[in-house]
């Protein structure tokens, strides 16, 4: 087992807009994904905590940007889940503004982890995030979540297909399989975080 540097991560604050975020100093990695993509489960597995990301699920908080501190200078950021059923247009528009503003202006942001359910990858929202991050010069890593829902062969096929597709939208983005259930891929995801948050200086093989 690799050392888990994220198990003392704790909830810091939640805010509907980037203006009330914690001071923009130190290093941050943001987690983005459509509702039900498995974002909360992944955050819990990565930090080895059962209920960390539940904070973001409490009513009134679902549209918040939630900040979790790893230590004094490093944070994980849970962006609001997107695309749930029939969200009114104005809500989507407001959400998009908050997210783009955050992605475009946040100086401490080192990279974005984008979560996609392996059975429903590369939806409109996912493509937008890839394009935004590429335009903003932000590193991006994809977790294909719930990989346990597919057999090994089909899971690999999706992995290769998504790799091929994202290369056109964000040439430097990387992709891996992930399951919060088995769990599979947590060490690989933490290695990316370690690199972006400067715990390690050598880039992991993706």
We find the least distance from the C-beta atom of residue 185 to ligand GDP, in angstroms, to be: 9
39 binds ligand GDP (CB under 6 A): yes
Best CA proximity match to 103, nearest among 172, 32, 43, 46:
32
Q: Check residue 172 for interaction with ligand GDP (CB under 6 A).
A: no
DSSP SS3 for 155: helix
Asked if 145 interacts with ligand GDP (CB under 6 A), we say yes
Query: Tokens at residue 40, please?
Result: 């909360």
Nearer to ligand GDP, 49 or 108 (CB): 49
Contacting residue, 27, 65, 130, 180, with ligand GDP by CB under 6 A = 180
Angle (CA) 127 131 133, round 5°:
115
- Inter-CA distances, 32 with 8, 125, 129, 154, Å: 21, 10, 8, 24
The stretch near ligand GDP (CB under 6 A) out of 22-30, 87-95, 136-144, 179-187 is 179-187
Residues that bind ligand GDP (CB under 6 A): 33, 35-41, 81, 145-146, 148-149, 179-181
């Amino acid at each position: 087992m690799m050392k888990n540097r994220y198990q003392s991560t704790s909830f810091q604050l939640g805010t509907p807009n980037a203006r009330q975020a914690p001071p923009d100093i130190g290093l941050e990695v943001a987690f983005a994904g459509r509702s039900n993509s498995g974002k909360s489960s992944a955050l819990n597995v990565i930090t080895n905590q059962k209920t960390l990301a539940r904070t973001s699920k409490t009513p009134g908080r679902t549209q918040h940007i939630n900040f979790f501190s790893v230590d004094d200078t490093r944070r994980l950021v849970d962006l609001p889940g997107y695309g749930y059923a029939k969200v009114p247009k104005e809500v989507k528009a407001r959400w998009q503004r908050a997210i783009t503003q955050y992605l475009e202006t946040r100086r401490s942001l080192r990279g974005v982890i984008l979560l996609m359910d392996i059975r429903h990858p590369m939806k409109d929202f996912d493509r937008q995030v890839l394009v935004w991050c590429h335009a903003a010069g932000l590193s991006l890593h994809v977790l294909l979540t719930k990989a346990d829902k597919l057999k090994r062969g089909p899971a690999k096929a999706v992995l290769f297909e998504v790799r091929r597709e994202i290369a056109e939208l964000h040439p430097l983005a990387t992709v891996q399989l992930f399951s919060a259930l088995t769990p599979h891929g947590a060490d690989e995801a933490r290695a990316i975080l370690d690199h972006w948050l400067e715990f390690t200086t050598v880039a992991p093989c993706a």
